[in-house]
Amino acid sequence: MVEFNCNDLICPLCGEPLVAIGGSLLCVGRHTYDVARQGYVNLLPVQQKHSLHPGDTPEMLAARRAFLNEGHYAPICSDVIAALLRQGEPPCTLTDVGCGEGYYTAEFAREFPTARCIGADISKAAVKMAASRSKQISWIVATASHLPIADDSMDGITAMFSLVCEEEFARVLRKGGIVVEVTAGTNHLIELKQIIYDDVFEQHKHPKSPQGNLKEISCELRSFRLKLSNAQLRNLLQMTPHTLRVKPENRAQLEATPSLSLTVEYFVRVLQK
């Protein structure tokens, strides 16, 4: 039987705490959720699911795993860990929302080995893949807008290139807890876009100011350079939504590019409750 830590989890239907009994999670309202043999739990009720297979395709996930496993985005991970540490004590409870195939969640759990870590994503395929990275993390299928996580329970929430739902994150964070959010900057992967699109319009990107119970502590624009081989470039294209939009002739051009130097540019923003 797969062991599953459900300490901070609540029933997505009635909000009561979940307890682990014989390979399932149960609440007092008798709602039951089975722990899959891969070690994750689906806590996304049908009424919160807006499409049959939400999230990235299996091909996108496989490309993301291959690319991230090579460590190209390790500096982003280090920036987020530094931001989590800058606020004082290392987090005891941490949720990575929109965890995808789990690269960053697993790195955070390695950095904070005594923390209770949750990896949450709306895509079941992503969470199933993520579960193979670590048995110490509570992997859940869930939506960022209705997290099945207790009020005031998290020291930290990370959102790596994924959705931030301010009100919901504020509910789940303890007082003083922080969100570390990473979003793409204006020049992120600009050299790739110049190959795959006929015209690249400059879209000035900056995270919007928070509206509710979270206040912005810092927002830093960071960047570094990457030199990628042809195989790495193909993976990079395949792991992003650009792969769904690119014209065949532009894809062919990228596939004929032997190597490319790229700008990785991103905001690391810290919001506090």
Ligand X SMILES: C[S@@+](CC[C@H](N)C(=O)[O-])C[C@H]1O[C@@H](n2cnc3c(N)ncnc32)[C@H](O)[C@@H]1O
| Site residues for ligand X per CB under 6 A | 55-56, 64, 97-100, 103-104, 121-123, 126, 143-145, 160-163
Beta pairing class for 138-141 and 154-160: unpaired
Shortest distance in whole angstroms from residue 125 CB to ligand X: 9
- What whole-number distance in Å separates Cα of residue 93 and Cα of residue 105? 12
Q: Give the Cα-Cα-Cα angle 50, 56, 60 (nearest 5 degrees).
A: 165
CB of 13 to ligand X, least distance (A): 17
- The nearest distance, CB 264 to ligand X, in angstroms, is 12
Q: Using an 8 Å Cβ cutoff, are 37 and 4 in contact?
A: no
Compute the distance between CA of residue 12 and CA of residue 81 in angstroms, rounded to an integer: 29
Neighbours of 91 (CB within 10 A): 25
Residue pair 105/157 in contact (Cβ under 8 Å)? The answer is no
Closer to ligand X at the Cβ: 116 or 128? 128
Nearer to ligand X, 15 or 23 (CB): 15
Q: Is the dihedral of CA 37, 39, 40, 41 positive or negative?
A: positive
Nearest CB to ligand X, comparing residues 26 and 102: 102
Nearer Cβ to ligand X (8/56): 56
Beta carbon of residue 191, minimum distance to ligand X (angstroms, whole number) = 19
Least Å from the CB of residue 6 to ligand X: 19
Residue closer to ligand X (CB basis): 145 or 253: 145
